[in-house]
Structure formats: structure tokens, C-alpha cells
Amino acid sequence: MRPIDDYVENKVNGAFGYADKLDLRTLDQIIWVGAAIARALMNKRVVFHVKDGTTLDALVHSSYLEGSYGQPLISMLDLSNAYKQFALHPDCRRYSVIALRSPVDQSSPCFEGRVLPFGATASVVHFNRCSRLLQHIGYQLYLPWSSYFDDFPVVTPNVWAESTMSAMTTMLDLL
Amino acid sequence: MDDEFKSNFDAPSKIEGTEQQQPDGPPEAKSRERPTANTGPVLKPLVIEICAGTAMLSRCFQEVGFDVMAVDHTHNRFHPLAHICTLDLTLTSSWEFLYYVVRNFPVCFVHAAPPCGTCSRAREIHLGGPTQPRPLRSSEYPHGLPQLTADEQARVDAANSIYRQMSEFLLFCSRHNIPWSVENPARSYLWETEWMLRLQEVAQFFYFTACAWGSNRPTKKAFLSTLPDMFRLEAECPGNHQHEPYGRTRDEQGKLIYATAEEAAYPRILCVQIRRIVQEALNLFPEHSHAVPGFVTNNAAGATAMRLQPRGRRMPPLISEFVAFQTITAKDAPPLDSKSCLTKPWHHLPAHAKMLSLEVLSGECGEDSCKQIRYKFGIFRGPKQWIDDAIQLKHPFDLYHAVPDELLRVVFEILSLGPAEIANRRTAKLKQWISLAKSLELEEAKLKESMEPGVAAILRPKRILLWRSVAEQMEWPDHQLFEEIVEGFKIVGLQEPSGVFDLEPRPPSFSPESLDDAIKFLRPAILGKVKSASVDEDAPETMGHHLRRGLAFKLDERALIGGDRLPGGRQAMASGA
């Protein structure tokens, strides 16, 4: 079990409006990429139809065709302290006050949060804006990955496993 | 004609005056480049219905593939036929949300049926009894008679607030080339208010008798609209039916029902005609679309590629039902079979074309023999054309997947260039970023110094300017992101769309100001609940961790007395949920 702060009862979530429809097709993306790699290895040719209408078509590089070098592997990188990496606007701290019942006396101490609160609708939208940007920055490093909140699943040919993992961690350390 | 159609089955490639298939998209006036991170789909045209009531009009637009937003208040007395977006239109924050929708969505048409209860001249008819409603307005006092009771004044003020804000909103729509219409009884005092007079400068009136469009009573209705084609609503009672009486009756619970209130609900036939007028005037036919990559949402595409066809209209057919449409105006009836398909060629149309709708044109001489009727036909593909089109299709796995183009290119380059080349490119890019980070160090330190100390403490480990530089090089569409990271994210209010995701309006239920007004009631209720809750043994440890890391601060209990802080409780959630 993990604690989640209740922003429904105190109506904070009701006072947030937005229009971003978060498409979290992470699993579809990862499975699709895995299947696409397997198909390319089988045909020794990689053909993708890009949504802008162009077709990418080339032979698979010979190094992937030896042994199990090309076999797709799936791994996951999990950002630590996801929501706690981003600050709450000072004007909104007063909406992020958690009241807890004291285990020792009858008091109910209150704590004012400084970070994106877990349980607020807005946190979901804001955090996914950040993780979607990280995902796309990763494409500059040829990271075949996706994102789901603070999870970054990656699918990569076997021969690449170590290099890919180290590129992922270096990038996140740098940013 | 027979030469033109060698095969009765094969449709001509192009028929003059025929609407060719077109994928659904926003109207031209609203078309905009919307750079998204994952080549988001072009949105469907959106119709807004204000004070929707039964939402029959929204339902009719929805049936042919439009997105609709039917707005009404929580006390809406009708059972709605489309999903209702609940907004209290007396509040400014509700209208701010509608402006937000117009700014961010391809709104193609707005219809409003403002409440007419306080404007009705039926109040001037004496029905007798103690519950006789009395007039609240007059031509001399269209904004409300003097010396109303407090209750009456409140009703008039609420209605005026809606009228004023609606008028400003519709003028805003006009400035954005979005056509609109407003409906009320023809003799409603609404039309004499200053707010409606302002609208009359940019729109014109169209009158009809309600029973000509399916109502039970011959109420004179007025449409004020910026669409000149609304003249096709103008019609008088055809005189071929009985009218129900006006006045009032009691329902099963003994509540008084006024005939005028019943007349407020739009019959389907009227809504279909409005839809037809709007569609033809704007040339928007989303129902005729077929699946095109880029016109399908990521969620629908992702499911389709993985062999799960999404429900409803989220994924249009791969080949549209009709290859073309044609409208024919004729006096003679088409030869149709039981499925409304032509049994033989008729007026340049091939046999088997399907009649989709017919409309009796107004201004007819009254006798059936000389009535002009406008027919709309859909023309099917012939078997050969169907196969020709089908073999052009690519497998949904290849086209309708949720994988962004950038990821496709990454996988393509990894597989085609080979490990050595990719390793070189990765190293080069990382070196470039490290050098960029170094050059930004001083500026980064200054930025952190300028931040609010609590925000700076959280963001200390981050290289915000490096993020921003890389994002700018990539032309990342979410331009607001860095400003918001640096100032701290807000968790109340209206969030502008990031440009990264597909769009779907999620209105707030109330404004931050209303939330602030409610704090004095919410605070004691929540604190009372927390005091009576069971003790969370892990709470001290979790909070201790937060306090040590500066993620939260313990408040003096007195800080919550009065003041503007709003507490919340904490619940347990299954991990990984």
C-alpha cells in the first residue's frame, strides 16, 4: 500500500480544467517496436511507413543477423521520486496541505507540500508533459523507448543492451 | 446517359457537382498547424450547443461524426440525449472555459437557446389561480420591470447575466469566423434586450412556426443567425394536423407543466434540418470519412494496430461506404427499392445509388405534383473499384499504430546503420550536450538564484536551461513548460493545452475563486473527518522523510484557523495501481 493524498474531497481537482488528452499507449508502442524488429530480422529488410507519407526502406545491417545479436530485449528505467522532482507554484501550496491524525495525541498536524502532489489531477498532466519531453529528447540519442509517467520502457537489439542502458542513465543524469 | 455509365455498378470517377470524399477536418477558417510530438490527428469539427436541454441537436450532429459539446446547468429538467457538459452559465468562469474551447478546438458552429422563462409574453396571459406567473419584463423594460420581488429580481438578474455573457461570446465567435444561431420564441422580450440588439447588427432573423418542424403547437419561433442559409428553416404550419392546446397541466406528481416549457425541446426533424443547413453551408461531412493515418487518434490507432478494433466511430472504416455523393433537385420521385437504392439510373445517377435524405424545398405551390424535392444520394463503389481501392490499402499494423514517427526513425536507423555508427552518433550528441551544459552553468546558477527559494530548493539538481536549449533545438511544441517548471506548477485553474497531446476538453467544475469561497466550509469538514479517522502508523515516517528533504513543511495548527489554506486527507492506495 502507498499513501495518496485526497484532492477530490477537498474539491481541488474540481477547480482544475485542461484539454490535454494523455495518450499512454506505452505497451502498444513497445510491443509494436518489438514485433517490428523481429519482422525486420526475419525479412532482413526494414520497411516503415511514416505518418507524413514517406516510406523508410533499407536492408538490416549485417551485424544484427549474426547469432542472437538482433534479438529484441525489453527493459525498464524508473525515474526515482518522480513527482518530487518538480515544484509546486507558491500560490498553490495552500491547496496542498495534508492533515494527518497524530498517533500519539488527539491533534491533527498539517503539512504544506512544496512538490507536485500525488493525487492531484494537475500533477498527472504536468508530469506527463515532462516525461514526454524526456522521451523525445532520448530519440536524439537513438533510444528506442517510450514513457509512462515515471517509467521508461525500452526495447533494443540484444547487441545494444548495455550501450542503450548507459545512454539512458547518462542522459537523465545530465538533465 | 447510358454511355456515361457503361456499368450500372461502377460509379463515375467524377460527377459534376458531386461532393468527393474528404477526410473530416476543421473548417478552413479554423485550420491551423498544430505541431504535436506524435503527429496528433486533425480534430473533428466541434459543435457547441449552449443551454442544450434535451441535447437533441448535439445528438444529431454527433450521429454524423461531429464532436459536440452540449452545455447546460445541473438543474436541466430534460433527460439529455448527448453527454452534457455541466456549466453554470451565470458564472464568468464557465464562459472563460467556452472561450478556451474556441481558442483551442476547431469549433465550427455554435447554437444557443437561452432560457426564455423571464422573457415570455405568455406571462401576460391570465390563466387564473394563485400560481399565476406575472410579467417580469416589457418592451419599455426589457431588462426587468421595476419593483420586482427579490425572488423575481434574482431570476431576471441570472437570465440577464447569461444573455450578456452569451452575447459577448457570440460576437467573439463572429470575430473568429464561427457561425452561430440563437433561438427563442419570436415575441420573446429577449430580442429587445441591449445584448441581443448588439447581435442583430451582425446576424439576421429567420422565423418559422414550430409545428412546421414537428412540434405540437403553432408557436412562432425566431432564429437569429449569422448563417444566411438558415432561411431554409422558414416555414408556416402546413395545416395538415391538429394543435395541442396552450396553458398548463399537472404532471403525475402534481407539478404544474406549462405548454411553453414543453415547446422548448427541439423535435428531431427540426434538428436534422439545422444539421443539414450547417453541413451544407460549411461543406463539412465528417460522416463520409474513411480512415487516414493522421486522422485517427493515437488511442484508436494503437488499439487497431494491435488487432483490437476500437468501439464506435473512433476508427472510421478503411474504405468509406460511398465513393461520392450527389444532390439532385427534382419533382419526380426516384425509383427506389426497399433499401432506398435506385432500381435504375435516374437523373444522371447510376442504379443502386442510395438515397440518404430528402428535403421538401420551401416556397412550393402546395400541390404535391409541383413540389420541388432535394434528394441526397450516396454512390457506391462497383466491385472492381472496391477491389482496386482495397489493394491499395496497407495493413493496419503498418499504418495505424501509436508509435511516433521519431521512434520509427530511431528504430529504422538503429537497424539499418548498425551498432558502430549509432555508437558514434550517441557519443557525439552526449558530448555536444555536456559542452552546452558547461556553457550554460553561469546562467543556470543565476536562474536558480532568481527563483522563489522553495521552488529553487526542489529544482536544484536540474539543468533547466540545458533542457530548454535541447527542447528548442527540437522545436518542442510545449513552449510554456519551462516557464511553469521555473515558477512551479499550478494545480487549480484552467491549463492551456501543451500542444503535445491530442485534445479533449475537461472543464473545471468551478473556478479557483469559488473554491476559495468554499474553504471556510470545507476546512472544518475535512479536519473533522481526519480527527475521526484511524491512525496511519506509517504517517510519521513518511512525513518525516518529506520534512527532512524539504518537500513539505509542518504548519503551526493556528495557521489553519481563518486564512486561506485548504487541507486534504490522505488515503491508502494499492501500490502499482
CATH number at residue B241: 3.40.50.150
- The pLDDT of residue B250 is 64
**B-chain residues near A48 (CB < 8 A):** 398, 408, 411-412
C-beta atoms of B394 and A4 within 8 A:
no
In a domain, B399, yes or no: no
* Residue A159 in this model has a pLDDT that exceeds 90: no
Q: What is the pLDDT of residue B508?
A: 87
Contact assignment for A23 to B484 by CB distance below 8 Å:
no
| B189 and B144 housed in the same domain | yes
B452 touches chain A (CB under 8 A): yes
B172/B49 same-domain check? yes
* Cβ-Cβ contacts under 8 Å, B404 against chain A: 29, 136
Residue B349 counted as domain residue: yes
Within a domain: B546 = yes
Least confident of A44-48, A101-105, B46-50, B329-333: A101-105
Judge if B418 and B386 occupy the same domain: no
Instruction: Give the total residue count for chain A.
Output: 175
Does B528 fall in a domain?
Answer: yes
Cα gap B136→B197, rounded to integer Å: 19
Order of strands, edge to edge, in the sheet holding B67-72? B84-86, B67-72, B46-50, B107-112, B180-185, B220-225, B204-209
User: CB–CB of A99 and B495 under 8 A?
Assistant: no
Q: Across the interface, do B489 and A122 touch by the CB < 8 Å criterion?
A: yes
CA distance to partner chain A, nearest, from residue B315 (Å): 15
Question: Å from A85 to nearest chain B CA?
Answer: 6
Q: Which residue, of B471, B487, B503, is where some domain finishes?
A: B487
ipTM score: 0.92
Closest to B7 (Cα-Cα) out of B380, B320, B325, B337: B380
A95 contact B CB<8A: yes
Give CA–CA dist B144/B152, Å, rounded: 9
Chain A residue with CA closest to B460: the answer is: A85
Sort out which chain A residues have CB atoms less than 8 A from B512's CB and list them. Answer: 15
Phi-psi region of B144 (alpha: psi -120 to 50; beta: other; left: phi over 0): left
Report residue B361 as a C-alpha cell.
Answer: 424545398
- Answer yes or no: do B236 and B268 share one domain: yes
- B450 touches A: beta carbon within 8 Å: no
- At residue B282, the 3 state secondary structure works out as helix
Do B386 and B441 belong to one domain? no
Q: Which residue, chain included where needed, has cell 439545422?
A: B274
Q: How far is B546 from chain A (nearest CA, A)?
A: 9
Nearest-Cα distance to chain B for A119, in Å, is 9
**Last-in-domain residue among B392, B415, B438:** B392
> Which of A68-82, A112-126, B378-392 has the lowest average pLDDT?
A68-82
Tell me the nearest-neighbour CA distance from B91 into chain A, angstroms: 14
Which residues, in sequence order, are CB contacts of B238 under 8 Å at separation 6+?
A: B212
In this structure, the answer to whether residues B526 and B425 fall within a common structural domain is: no
Residue A19 to residue B419, Cβ atoms within 8 A: no
Residue of B nearest to A16 (CA): B492
B410, B478, B553: residue with CB nearest A129: B478
* Count of domains observed in chain B: 4
- Between residues 52 and 81 of chain A, which touch chain B (CB distance below 8 Å)? 52, 56, 58-64, 70
Nearest to B530 among A63, A70, A108 (CB): A108
pLDDT in tens, chain B (577 residues): 333 333 333 333 333 334 444 433 333 333 333 334 444 456 788 999 998 888 899 999 988 888 888 988 866 656 666 677 888 888 888 899 899 999 988 999 999 999 887 887 766 666 666 666 778 888 888 888 888 888 888 889 999 999 999 999 999 999 999 999 999 999 899 999 999 999 999 999 999 998 888 888 888 999 999 999 999 998 888 777 777 766 666 666 666 666 666 667 888 989 999 999 999 999 888 777 766 666 667 667 767 666 677 776 667 778 888 888 888 888 888 999 999 999 999 988 999 999 988 877 754 444 555 678 888 899 999 889 999 988 888 777 777 777 888 999 999 999 999 888 999 999 999 999 999 999 999 999 999 999 999 999 999 999 999 999 999 999 999 999 999 999 999 999 999 999 998 888 888 888 888 888 888 888 888 888 887 777 666 666 777 777 777 777 777 766 666 678 888 887 766 655 4
B94 contacts B73 by C-beta, under 8 angstroms: no
Q: Which of A52, A103, A132 sits opposite B500 (nearest CB)?
A: A132
Q: Are residues B388 and B409 in the same domain?
A: no
Domain range for residue B533? 512-559
Looking at B338, B361, B392, the residue that finishes a domain is B392
Q: Which residues of A touch B497 (CB under 8 A)?
A: 18-20
Q: What is the pLDDT of residue A81?
A: 81
Please tell me which residue of chain B has the smallest CA distance to A171. Answer: B430
- B541 in A contact zone (CB under 8 Å): no
Mean pLDDT throughout A47-65?
Answer: 87
| B152 within a domain of the structure (yes/no) | yes
In B113-179, beta strands by DSSP E: none
Q: In Å, how far is B59's CA from the nearest CA of chain A?
A: 22
Q: What is the pTM of this model?
A: 0.76
How many Cβ pairs within 8 Å bridge chains A and B?
402
Chain B residues with beta carbon closer than 8 angstroms to that of A108: 527, 530-531
**Bridge partners, residue A151, by sequence:** A78, A148
Q: What is the pLDDT of residue B17?
A: 38
B454 and A87 within 8 Å at the Cβ level: the answer is yes
Q: Is B210 exposed, middle or buried (0-12, 13-18, 19+ CB in 10 A)?
A: buried
Does B36 map to a domain? no
In this complex, do A92 and B467 lie within 8 Å of one another by their Cβ atoms?
A: no
- Same domain assignment for residues B69 and B192: yes
Domain annotation covers residue B569: no
Asked if B346 and B414 sit in the same domain, the reply is: no
Query: B55 and B203 in one domain?
Result: yes
Same domain, B120 and B180: yes
Most A CBs within 10 A among B435, B491, B516, B527, hence the mutation to make, goes to B491
Q: A70 to chain B, minimum CA–CA distance in Å? A: 9
Using the Cβ of A29 and the Cβ atoms of chain B, whether some distance falls under 8 Å is answered with: yes
Task: Confirm whether B291 is domain-assigned.
Answer: no
What is the three-state SS of B350-383?
CCCCEEEEEEECCCCCCCHHHCCEEEEEEEECCH
Same domain, B236 and B265: yes
Q: Average pLDDT, stretch A32-58? A: 88
Higher pLDDT, A148 or B171: B171
